Amino acid sequence: MALKKEEWIALEEQAAKIRQLTLDTCNWAGSAHMGGSLSSIDFLVLLYYKYLNFDPQNYTDPDRDRCVVSKGHIGVALAALFSDLGLIDRDELKTFNLTGSKLGMHLDSNKVKGLEASTGSLGHGGALGLGMALAGKQLGRQYKTWVLFGDGECDEGSVWESAMATASYNMTDLIMVVDRNHAMIDGPTEEVMKLEPFEDKWKAFGFDTVVVEGHHMQKVAEAIEYAMKATEKPVCIIMDTVKGEGISFMAGDYKWHYGAMDADKYALATKDIKEHLAVRLARVEKEAE
């Protein structure tokens, strides 16, 4: 197994911590993109706290791994994560998306330490990641580059242009990841613009494609380790996730792509995050070695 029991427990607790901090930041801001943030947090926690060669104290290290969050509208989750890593002052989260703050709804890499790219204009992350990966190859560096897309974002033709180029150059050090939460701002993805057969599309573009339960830390960790060892063709990890994961009234509801809460909903969401962690820890007790 990729994760031993103690490590798995620690990562689950870390994910719950980031979920709560994301919720708090949304509450301070008055509103935020919560649904897609919550569906991405498990992967981001695994990447930044276990697999990414990234030192927050040396975030400009030329040999660091790169992570481009193409679905940049989840800046509220990234702000929470980067605050926990020590790259953003915790008090600054209380200014998120408010006038005069350096923390906009889509985070600015010129203002946030350690953020590889300013994203949020959807579809651009693949090309940015490919450029970083190609630069590393030309310079003889061994770092890996990760790109996190949203599934609704994959309506953008530029996603597929970068995928085609990635496979053409056989950039196995560039790993594409899709947060497949089945929803976008206007509704379920399959009602707005059909993506299926989604796995087959990535395969047709030249990727070794892995579909994984996106909220099972162990399974996502195994997919990450598989992708990191790839040498024959680039890997795309499709994570089957739930928009709004961890909060009962948000889970699976596309209307929580963006939203605001009153005091009662905030209290319920806080309670839900604690209960969600308890369920996840019970799974660890059942399945861990």
Given this model, what pLDDT does residue 282 score? 98
Please provide the DSSP assignment of 34-90 as one string: -HHHHHHHHHHHHIIIII----GGGTT-TTS-EEEES-GGGHHHHHHHHHHTTSS-G
Specify the pLDDT at position 73. 97
Give the phi and the psi of residue 29 in degrees, each rounded to 5.
-75, -25
Per-residue model confidence (pLDDT) at position 120:
86
pLDDT of residue 289: 84
Cβ neighbors of 121 (< 8 A, separation 6 or more) are 72
- Give the pLDDT score at 102: 96
| Cα separation values, 201 from 70, 149, 238, 254, Å | 19, 15, 11, 24
User: Is 164 in contact with 206 (CB distance < 8 Å)?
Assistant: yes
Buried b (16+ CB within 10 A) or exposed e, 216-253: bbbbbbbbbebbeebeebbbbbbbbbbbbbbbeebbbb
Residue spans of the domains in the chain: they are: 5-287
**List of the chain residues with pLDDT < 50:** none
Contact yes or no for 126/166 (Cβ under 8 A)? yes
- Please state whether the predicted TM-score (pTM) of the whole model is above 0.95: yes
Q: Which residues have C-beta within 8 Å of that of residue 8, sequence separation ≥ 6?
A: 217, 218, 284, 288
Superfamily of domain 5-287: Thiamin diphosphate (ThDP)-binding fold, Pyr/PP domains (3.40.50.970)
